[in-house]
């Protein structure tokens, strides 16, 4: 089975069924303004493709009961890949972004794109095999990188902690090992924001996800979409000047940057000045959880500095939720308490009256899960992608059609 | 002629023709993937409605030359209304947002919505009559208010300088005098940003418009659309803390707010401290233009403070253009020079490498012109709106159908 104009027509039907609610052919026809005979054909096509399954009989109003159908999220799968400075997390999910497989391992991003991406390909193959699926089922791959990514080309742009990756064709590299499924590449914090929005807070159209770790960055959801900016560097809060902050020198050459004041390394350095041994965010988290007062105060201060910058972001963007994640968020409420102190004090009441500030509910999965969401959204938005072949059909293993430049990188 | 399902089908054809380029029926059919006979009918309908006109014969490739058609922007008009603290500017434009009429008068917004909006209705009627058009030609009205506006309802939300306007049904009020055309209400700075994007910089998808006057605010264009935020208060920069700024007390109850440091009143107050008499932005502009060194230095300092806040905005949003407008922008390059100094110094290079910082090219028309654009975009996005009646048809004078809640407020 190959892509046909008829199958492009299935996309609106699939999108309508995405909510998972069962419907009859007649209900679907009414909803989409199509004739019942046209809709009948389309439902038959979707049944044949395994994308829709019968769910039983609708309540009868006299006469023969009408059969209902619902979307089958497990008909295809996607992979979400989150690459950090020292780890790779790879998940497989169905088309509702429910996790089917989850794998995490230590990987050194600084070893360069070759070994890292080859390992990603290997893990995806292994996870597919373990789940009893194959490449023909794969409807897309979403990859998060710990640095700026040019969204149009999907290539990393001068990423500071990723030597050898500048301009690398990440999507092309993965295509070589993973076949024809579209590969989409983004900044990891953008994907965390996408996961928080899509999985945890789907009703929140304006959301700011803030990752506080060694680096500090934000992912922006505006009108329900990721805001990436002109060069893909939006959300780069690490080197914003903290209002009222100390002029601490920063690695970037400026002083008073948020990262130099409130990043994990800055907090650990301050603890050492007070005679408390700490190097990493893990050390800081362990100290706070162990009740160390100096560490707790330092984390609260860091929260206030993050809050001072976020207060400006709230005035500028007027989000209704701020979600705090990253390794430092594991200290519990102390970081968020410091953030709330300043965020609620500064902007005008209209901007904060409905604002929630919380810690991430998704935690360490957020990056990979966001990658899966990116691939899922792309699958529903690309005509013919989900309907180009039946699950397991051998022809889906070979490239079907040239992919748009923005996808293949 | 009334709205029919057939006329909804004209919307994609109209949108394709919006670029103004002449096309043949065959070219249009190919472009939209429709049969030539279907397209022929649709072009005939658009000709009958006056929305499209013949432009001549296309170059023949042998045989009978094919006739070409192009969009007629003057087939319908829209009104753009900009209400400030002490003025109203009202323009009529065609569907390409080219001005047909322009009117400005002194109006005191504090006299309340009744007298102000009644006067707007009166002026629109006068301008229509002078242009030889009537209400049946009016495809929409876009209104900018100098305060926060709830976008979903179109009502002002606790606007500080607009006593009596809180929650007022501005759209409903104007409908009573202007008939069935949709009325869309927004914050004035959002409309200025929209005008800069649509009229001056259509290729710039990420833009920040900053109004520097007594108040200071920004309008955000993200991915080509106005970003309003959860409550419509996005861009409210006046009370953002200036990094590294003095803790000057502000009317809002906080200290160090941008408006208290760099607003026109703050600059005038500083001039008076130096023995230079100034009260308003007009006074400051006149002093700077007259070569007063104290005033020039104060404006440059104000620019630096605005720049310090904008530097954070650049890191957060990664725009490719900042456009500076408002009454203080009339001082010439001194304000923008101060802004550039800081904006280019602070964020990481990726965010500023393609960033332009300029003064507004549209100037005092921007608010009203933005209102016109808002109405034009809505007209093209609302099926049946442009095709519900021929120009001048009497039935278009009476309300045709209930308008969506977001439009009628």
The mean-pLDDT minimum among A95-109, A310-324, B147-161 falls in B147-161
CATH of the domain at A142: 3.30.420.40
> How close, in Å, is residue A363 to chain B by CA atoms?
23
> Any CB–CB contact under 8 A between A351 and chain B?
yes
pLDDT means per 10 residues, chain B with 409 residues, are: 55 88 90 85 90 78 73 95 94 97 95 96 97 95 93 86 94 94 96 97 97 94 95 93 91 92 96 96 96 97 97 96 95 95 89 93 94 96 76 37 37
A94 in the same domain as A157: yes
B231 in the same domain as B155: no
Question: How many contacts does A have with B, using Cβ atoms within 8 A?
Answer: 161
> How close, in Å, is residue A351 to chain B by CA atoms?
6
CA A186 vs. chain centroid, Å, equals: 9
> Any CB–CB contact under 8 A between A222 and chain B?
yes
- Confidence (pLDDT) at A373: 98
Of B222, B241, B311, the CB nearest to A244: B241
Position A7 pLDDT exceeds 80 = no
Q: Is residue B197 part of a domain?
A: no
B332 in the same domain as B210: yes
B346 in the same domain as B211: yes
B126 in the same domain as B115: yes
For the CA atoms of A142, A145, A149, A151, what is the dihedral angle to 10 degrees? Answer: 10
B402 in the same domain as B316: no
Interval A79-107 mean pLDDT: 96
A130 in the same domain as A217: no
A260-297: burial string, b at 16+ Cβ within 10 Å, e else: bbbbbbbbbebbeeeebebeebebbbebbeeebebbbb
CB contacts, 8 Å: A317 with chain B: 220, 227, 229, 234, 316
A98 in the same domain as A145: yes
The mean-pLDDT minimum among A196-200, A356-360, B138-142, B384-388 falls in B384-388
Q: Is residue A372 part of a domain?
A: yes
What CA–CA distance (Å, rounded) separates A276 from A82?
Answer: 32
Q: What is the pLDDT of residues B300-314, one digit of tens each?
A: 999 999 999 999 999
CA B146 vs. chain centroid, Å, equals: 13
What CA–CA distance (Å, rounded) separates B127 from B78?
Answer: 11
Interface test with A, best of B167, B241, B305 (most A CBs within 10 A): B241
- Confidence (pLDDT) at B3: 40
B217 in the same domain as B317: yes
CB B373 within 8 A of CB B143: no
CATH of the domain at B12: 1.10.10.10
A47 in the same domain as A15: yes
- Confidence (pLDDT) at A385: 87
Beta bridge partners of B325: B211
A186 in the same domain as A157: yes
Q: Is residue A197 part of a domain?
A: no
What CA–CA distance (Å, rounded) separates B173 from B154?
Answer: 12
What is this model's ipTM?
Answer: 0.87
Q: Determine, for residues A315 and B223 on separate chains, whether the beta-carbon distance falls below 8 Å.
A: no
A208 in the same domain as A126: no
Interface of B with A in 364-393 (CB under 8 A): none
CB contacts, 8 Å: A219 with chain B: none
The domain boundary, picked from A71, A91, A124, lies at A71
Per-residue confidence at A151, pLDDT binned at 50, 70, 90? confident
Q: What is the count of structural domains for chain B?
A: 3
Range of the domain at A212: 202-362
CB A301 within 8 A of CB A269: no
Mean pLDDT of chain A: 89
Helix (H, G, I), strand (E, B) or coil at B383: coil
CB B309 within 8 A of CB B218: no
> Any CB–CB contact under 8 A between B302 and chain A?
no
């Amino acid at each position: 089975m190959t892509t046909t104009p008829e199958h492009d027509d299935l996309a609106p039907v699939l999108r309508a069924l995405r909510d998972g609610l069962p419907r009859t052919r007649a209900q679907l026809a009414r909803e989409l303004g199509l004739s019942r005979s046209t809709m009948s054909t389309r439902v038959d096509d979707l049944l044949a493709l395994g994308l829709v399954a019968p769910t039983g009989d609708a309540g009868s109003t006299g006469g023969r009961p009408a059969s209902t159908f619902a979307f089958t999220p497990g008909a295809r799968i996607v992979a979400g890949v989150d690459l950090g400075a020292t780890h790779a997390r790879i998940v497989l999910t169905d088309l509702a972004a429910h996790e089917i497989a989850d794998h995490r391992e230590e990987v050194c991003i600084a070893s360069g794109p070759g070994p890292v991406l080859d390992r990603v390909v290997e893990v995806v193959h292994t996870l597919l095999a373990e789940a009893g699926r194959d490449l023909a089922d794969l409807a897309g791959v979403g990859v998060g990188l710990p640095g700026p990514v040019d969204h149009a080309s999907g290539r990393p742009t001068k990423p500071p902690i990723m030597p050898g990756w500048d301009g690398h064709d990440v999507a092309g590299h993965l295509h070589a090992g993973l076949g024809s499924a579209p590969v989409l590449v983004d900044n990891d914090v953008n994907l965390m924001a996408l996961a928080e929005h899509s999985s945890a807070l789907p009703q929140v159209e304006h959301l700011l996800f803030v990752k506080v770790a060694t680096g500090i960055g934000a992912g922006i959801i505006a009108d329900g979409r990721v805001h990436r900016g002109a060069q893909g560097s939006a959300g780069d809060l690490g080197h914003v000047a903290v209002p009222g902050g100390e002029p601490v020198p920063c690695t970037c050459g400026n002083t008073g940057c948020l990262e130099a004041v409130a990043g994990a390394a800055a907090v650990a350095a301050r603890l050492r000045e007070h005679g408390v041994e700490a190097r990493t965010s893990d050390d800081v988290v362990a100290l706070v959880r162990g009740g160390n007062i100096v560490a707790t105060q330092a984390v609260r201060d860091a929260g206030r500095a993050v809050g001072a910058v976020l207060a400006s972001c709230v005035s500028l963007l007027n989000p209704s939720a701020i979600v705090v994640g990253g390794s430092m968020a594991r200290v519990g409420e102390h970081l968020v308490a410091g953030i709330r102190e300043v965020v609620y004090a500064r902007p005008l009441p209209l901007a904060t009256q409905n604002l929630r500030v919380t810690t991430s509910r998704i935690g360490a999965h957020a990056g990979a899960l966001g990658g899966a969401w990116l691939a899922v959204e792309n699958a529903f938005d690309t005509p013919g992608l989900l309907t180009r072949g039946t699950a397991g059909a051998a022809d889906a293993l070979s490239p079907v059609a040239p992919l748009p430049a923005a996808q293949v990188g």
